C-alpha cells in the first residue's frame, strides 16, 4: 500500500481513498481532545503508542474519497489545495487522481462535507476557476449561510475563515447546489446531516448491494474518538452537538457493520466500529 491512493469496492461501486497530502499540527492533544482530563487522556493515548507529554506534533493525511458508480464519478472533499505556504506537503489531489486514470473533467459531482480549508482548498485552481470544470458542487445550505455571513466572519474565533471563503467558495458560488435536507445525490449516494464540527457539516452514505460505507469526514479525527466520543475537537463549532452526532453515527456504523472512512485517520482512513465490552472500538482495515 502507498500513501497516495487506495482502491476498494463497496458493492459494485469502485472507490478510491485519495490523499491530498499531509498537514502538520503542533500541540495535537488539546486540538483533538479539548475537554479530556489529562489524567484520563494520558493512559488512553498510551494504548495507541502515544506519550501525552511528548506528543508535540501530528502529521495528518487529508483523505478525499472517489466513488465511481458506473454512471457517475463523485468526489467527497477537495483537500487543502496548493495555495497555502504553510502547507507545503498538501495540494496533491489532482496528480494522485491522474495516477489512477481520473482527470479533473471526469468528476461530475463534488460533495463538500464542510467549509474548513482542508476540505475546500482544492475547489478552485490558481486562477479561481473550478478545479473540476464539469462538476456540480454540493454543500448544505446551513454550512454555506454560516460561513458566508458577515456576522460569523467578524467574530474573532471565526475570522481566520475569511480568506478561505473569499478564495475557495465565492469564486464558484454559481456552481453550488445548496441542500436543506438529506437527499440521494445519485443512485446509491446519500447526504447525511451531521452538525457539530460545523453547523452544516455533512456525512456521506454510500450503499451498493448489501454493503455500506459511511464517510464521516471530521466527525472523528483519531481512533480514540471512537472509544471516547464525548471528547470533542477544539475546532468543533458546536461541541455538545458534535458529541451527540459522533455518538449517533458511531452507533449506526457498529450496528449496521458499515465500513467507515475518516478524513484525518491514518491512511487510507478506513475501518470498522466494533461493539466491545460495553463500548466501541476502532478496527482499521490494515
Query: What is the DSSP track for 82-135?
Result: S--TT-TTB--HHHHHHHTT--GGG--EEE-S--SHHHHTTSB-TTSSBSSTT-
* 107 and 75 Cβ atoms separated by less than 8 Å: yes
80-132 pLDDT per residue, tens = 998 778 889 999 999 999 999 999 999 999 999 999 999 999 999 999 999 99
- Tens-place pLDDT, residues 173-183: 999 999 999 99
**Euclidean distance between CA atoms 114 and 195, whole angstroms:** 10
Q: Name the CATH architecture for the domain at 5-284.
A: 4-Layer Sandwich (3.60)
The three-state (H, E, C) secondary structure of 236-255, written as one string: CCCHHHHHHHHHHHHHHHHH
Could you tell me if 104 and 132 are in contact, meaning their C-beta atoms sit under 8 angstroms apart?
A: yes
pLDDT value, residue 156: 95
Query: Whole-model pTM?
Result: 0.97
pLDDT at 2: 54
Amino acid at each position: 500500500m502507498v500513501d497516495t491512493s487506495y482502491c476498494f469496492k463497496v458493492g459494485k461501486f469502485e472507490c478510491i481513498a485519495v490523499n491530498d497530502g499531509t498537514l502538520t499540527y503542533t500541540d495535537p492533544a488539546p486540538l483533538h481532545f479539548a475537554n479530556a482530563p489529562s489524567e484520563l487522556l494520558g493512559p488512553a493515548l498510551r494504548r495507541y503508542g502515544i506519550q501525552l507529554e511528548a506528543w508535540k506534533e501530528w502529521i495528518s493525511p487529508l483523505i478525499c474519497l472517489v466513488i465511481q458508480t458506473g454512471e457517475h464519478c463523485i468526489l467527497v472533499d477537495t483537500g487543502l489545495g496548493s495555495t497555502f505556504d504553510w502547507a507545503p506537503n498538501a495540494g496533491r489531489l489532482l496528480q494522485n487522481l491522474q495516477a489512477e486514470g481520473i482527470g479533473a473533467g471526469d468528476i461530475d459531482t463534488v460533495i463538500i462535507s464542510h467549509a474548513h480549508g482542508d476540505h475546500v482548498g482544492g475547489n478552485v485552481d490558481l486562477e479561481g476557476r473550478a478545479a473540476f470544470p464539469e462538476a456540480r458542487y454540493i454543500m448544505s445550505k446551513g454550512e454555506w449561510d454560516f460561513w458566508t455571513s458577515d456576522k460569523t466572519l467578524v467574530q474573532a474565533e471565526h475570522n481566520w475563515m475569511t480568506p478561505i471563503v473569499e478564495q475557495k467558495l465565492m469564486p464558484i458560488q454559481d456552481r453550488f447546489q445548496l441542500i436543506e435536507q438529506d437527499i440521494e445525490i445519485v443512485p446509491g449516494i446519500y447526504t447525511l446531516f451531521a452538525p457539530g464540527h460545523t453547523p452544516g457539516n455533512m456525512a456521506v452514505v454510500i450503499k451498493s448491494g448489501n454493503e455500506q460505507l459511511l464517510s464521516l469526514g471530521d466527525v472523528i479525527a483519531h481512533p480514540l474518538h471512537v472509544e471516547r466520543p464525548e471528547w470533542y475537537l477544539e475546532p468543533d463549532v458546536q461541541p455538545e452537538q458534535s458529541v451527540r452526532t459522533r455518538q449517533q453515527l458511531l452507533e449506526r456504523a457498529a450496528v449496521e457493520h458499515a465500513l467507515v472512512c475518516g478524513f484525518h485517520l491514518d491512511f487510507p482512513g478506513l475501518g470498522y466500529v466494533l461493539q466491545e465490552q460495553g463500548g466501541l472500538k476502532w478496527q482499521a482495515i490494515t
